Structure 1
Amino acid sequence: MKQYIYGKNTILEALKGDKSVYTVYVQNNAKDNGIIEQCKRKKIPFKIVDKSEFIKKLGNVSHQGVMAEIEEYRYYSIDEIINTIPDGKQPLLLMLDGLEDPHNLGAILRTCDAIGVDGVIIGKNRSVGLNGTVAKVSTGAIDHVKVAQVTNLTRTLEDLKKRSFWVVGCDLDKSQDYRQVDYNMPLVIVIGSEGFGISRLVKKSCDINVVLPMVGHVNSLNASVATAVILYQVYNSRNPL
């Protein structure tokens, strides 16, 4: 299967990596920032096309005048993710429960790459998958963060708990301040959807529920912002100054 990605940083990261890039398309009046040179060096076909080609393949998105046809993004199994965690490292996984906004997923992958999250788990149903928008917003992080797509989030959590993982849900209900938790253990951090939070069955599988205290007028943060806050708290807890 093939899919299209777009945006200069996204294309450059794909060209630098091991992903199969079949064809790169550059808009005839765009500055390619070295993309054509990279294509020539790696012997990847490229075409100079007009704007109509971008509209036909992508629709009306902000593509920065460059897109590429690539092999479809692959998903990893949970075992593959766990088996690549270095010895001596406290495992850190992130589960996204019902996240539907590709911009949020892209921003979350960017944070996960910065923090060193070992893998991200998403559901097959009612969740956004890996696509061109996610790739663009992640600015290349999509190529460095392993993502698993599973049928049943609750069953996956129960299996991970049998492997000594603790599950921390970010939720408003019966929760403690996220700054009071010890994160020095194998962890799965669970973030809920933009509108509904963590689903009931997934919440029941959480060992600890944490809340990000807020003193303003709104009662929740954007999912990608909440993810960044709690992941950096995990990082700080594990890597004190």
Structure 2
Amino acid sequence: MNKSSFFIVGKHAVFEALKNKKRKILKVFLTEESKKNIHRLSPKKNLLKDVKIYFKTKKELDKYSKNEGILHQGYVAEIEHLEKIELKEFISDKNNLTFVCLDEVTDPRNIGSLIRSAASFNIDGLIVKERHFPKESKLMYKSASGCVEHLNIFEVSNINTTLKFLRDKNFWVYGFDSKSNKDFMDVKWEGNNILLFGSEGSGIKHHTNKYTDFSVKININENVESLNISNSAAIVFHHINQHKKIS
């Protein structure tokens, strides 16, 4: 079955896609210098073997990123989507999993930064609503700095149904809410957990909040209203990762 293709830009996004054996690369558009950099970064393996390469000037590559206002750095690739991962199959033989789930979060830059943090701090997967996930966004891939290739991403049709299913499979759902009375650092973070984040504007939807087991927050300076969601997530991911290492 033929898959739809799309373009990504940026050094890390393209380089990590080339390294991913599961990723189908259709074409790569490079400057002479960026080709040399790829060989420098991977001297023992020719990542460009069997890949269609087109050499362009930086100005010629600008057309792939100018509409988004992001820098291509001399790297552009046309790629296919990865095979979808089925959540039910993934959890069937695993324990002590930590997933992050996004409710109505749609900003590509924030999602990309969150993906980068999740991959960096060993979060087991990201659950997103398929209809809201900007899966072909150059900005998301650029912000993720190649980490889309290193994180399990589960696209689901309904967040509430998915949370209900996971709760039935012994997952605890923690909803992050700045109005909560409980500090997330007071949680033991044992077993299977889901970290639920809502949109920056309206937070977790009321109906979705019914599927949470606990409401928690990040304690910050009382004079500051809130943190950016990607910053909040990075703090939480780092803490849980450290907790798991010592427990």
The one-letter code matched in structure 2 to 1:114 is S
Which residue does 2:24 correspond to in 1? 20
Which residue does 1:192 correspond to in 2? 198
Counterpart Cα distance in 2 of 1:42 and 1:84: 36
Residue 75 of structure 2 corresponds to residue 71 of structure 1: no
Counterpart Cα distance in 2 of 1:163 and 1:55: 48
The one-letter code matched in structure 2 to 1:44 is V
Give the secondary structure class of the aligned counterpart of 2:76: strand
Greater displacement, 122-131 / 33-42: 33-42
Specify which of 200, 204, 225 is matched with residue 231 of structure 2.
Answer: 225
Which residue does 1:61 correspond to in 2? 70
Counterpart Cα distance in 2 of 1:93 and 1:212: 18
Residue 168 of structure 2 corresponds to residue 168 of structure 1: no
The one-letter code matched in structure 2 to 1:171 is D
The one-letter code matched in structure 2 to 1:22 is L
Do 2:18 and 2:47's aligned partners in 1 also have CA atoms closer than 8 Å? no
Greater displacement, 73-82 / 4-13: 73-82
Q: TM-score, normalised by structure 2?
A: 0.86
Q: 1:13 to 1:40 in 2, by over 3 A?
A: closer
Which residue does 2:141 correspond to in 1? 135
Residue 42 of structure 2 corresponds to residue 6 of structure 1: no
The one-letter code matched in structure 1 to 2:210 is K
Percent identity reads: 26
Specify which of 30, 54, 78 is matched with residue 47 of structure 1.
Answer: 54
CA-to-aligned-CA distance 1:147-175 (integer Å, 9 cap, x gap): 11112111110000000000011112344
Gaps of 5+ in 2: none
User: 1:202-217 to 2 correspondence within 5 Å?
Assistant: 202-217=208-223
Counterpart Cα distance in 2 of 1:75 and 1:174: 35
Give the secondary structure class of the aligned counterpart of 1:136: helix
The one-letter code matched in structure 2 to 1:234 is I
Q: TM-score, normalised by structure 1?
A: 0.88
The one-letter code matched in structure 2 to 1:10 is A
Do 1:168 and 1:208's aligned partners in 2 also have CA atoms closer than 8 Å? yes
Which residue does 2:118 correspond to in 1? 112
Gaps of 5+ in 1: none
Counterpart Cα distance in 1 of 2:224 and 2:131: 29
Do 1:39 and 1:46's aligned partners in 2 also have CA atoms closer than 8 Å? no
Q: Which runs of 4+ in 1 moved over 6 A?
A: 36-40
Q: 1:57 to 1:196 in 2, by over 3 A?
A: same
Greater displacement, 36-45 / 209-218: 36-45
Residue 159 of structure 2 corresponds to residue 153 of structure 1: yes
Counterpart Cα distance in 1 of 2:79 and 2:175: 35
> What is the aligned length?
237
